Structure 1
Amino acid sequence: MSYTYGPGIGHLEFWVKDLEASLAFYSKLFPLIGWHALNRTSYSCGTHEIYFKEAPVLLHDSLGVRHICFHATSRQVVEQVGAWLQSINATIIRGPQAMPAYDAAYYTVDFRDPNGFVLEVAHMPETKL
């Protein structure tokens, strides 16, 4: 597969405390939301890449992204992610649930990965990017 890159984010690098635990988690989450493995530690949706590196000791204090929201192609995808999260006893912050305060069709689940990162999978067909 070949893609033409335009403006946007090329990749995100996640520093994780336990690479194997993170890969076990994301290798199940990403196929549910339409991402595919590029190699053992990298995943793509076709326009963006996320990869993981183990960094068990924090090298310096830093502030960063509060959470990452992944687009879901349907409410059913959000429901599938929610069911999977429940099956592995993940920490679910909220959802799956509608968020009419955001927009009438917004449907989301927010949760933590094995490192404590806050992630969201949301179906938001009326949101304009």
Structure 2
Amino acid sequence: MQPSIDHIEITVKDLEETVSFYDQFLPLLGFSLDKKTAAYIASHEKHVVEYSHPNLCIALTSPRESLKDEAVHRRRPGALHHLAFKAETRKQVDMVHGKLVEMNADIVSAPRLYPEYHPNYYAVFFKAPDGIKFEVVCQKVE
């Protein structure tokens, strides 16, 4: 078996606001909105919006009613610290950053080299509306 992620499901505070963000962000990574689906799963009491791609599926889900007012904190045990997407070139990282700026996304750190991680580590860091941290990174020599 090879390590490969089939899907990631992220519970978000405000599904409508977050879907609006992902509708703009995920196509930058190659996702097609034609492959987006939505459903309500009664047995789990949640709404789900799923973005499918041949390499990865990302699903957003509504929170449990009793937990809906809790804040996202990436350092909480069991929490997603951040999710990094691989870019093939630094130019792609810069392109994503430019689109994120147009979207008024919460940019944590504009694209730059991070030699403390790796000599060729070039990345942009940003947050989704709920505060979930993301990264787009290129580690190739250019």
Q: Which moved more, 1:108-117 or 1:12-21?
A: 12-21
Question: Displaced runs of 4+ in structure 1, greater than 4 A?
Answer: 59-62
CA, structure 1 residues 44+124, in 2 after alignment: closer, same or farther (shift >3 Å)?
Answer: farther
Q: Which position in structure 2 is the counterpart of 1:55?
A: 63
Unaligned runs of 5+ in 2: 38-48, 71-75
Q: Is 1:115 aligned with 2:125?
A: no
Higher mean C-alpha deviation, range 46-55 or range 66-75: 46-55
Counterpart-to-counterpart distance in 2, 1:56 and 1:110: 28
| Partners of 1:74 and 1:51 in 2: CA distance | 26
Alignment of 1:80-91 (within 5 A): 80-91=95-106
Greater helix content? 2
Aligned equivalents of 2:123, 2:137: Cα separation in 1: 4
Rate the CA distance shift 1:54–1:125 in 2: closer, same or farther, 3 A. same
What's the counterpart of residue 82 of structure 2? 67
Q: Distance in 2 between matches of 1:6 and 1:124?
A: 21
Residue equivalent to 1:105:
120
Give the letter for the 1:30 counterpart: L
Q: Percent identity?
A: 32
Aligned residues: 122
Residue 18 of structure 1: CA displacement? Answer: 1.6
User: Tell me, which stretches of 5 or more residues in structure 1 are unaligned?
Assistant: none
Q: TM-score, normalised by structure 1?
A: 0.79
Aligned residues: CA RMSD: 2.4
Contact 1:108 1:121 in 2 (8 A): yes
Distance in 2 between the 1:87 and 1:32 partners? 13
Aligned to 2:36: 39
TM-score, scaled relative to structure 2: 0.73
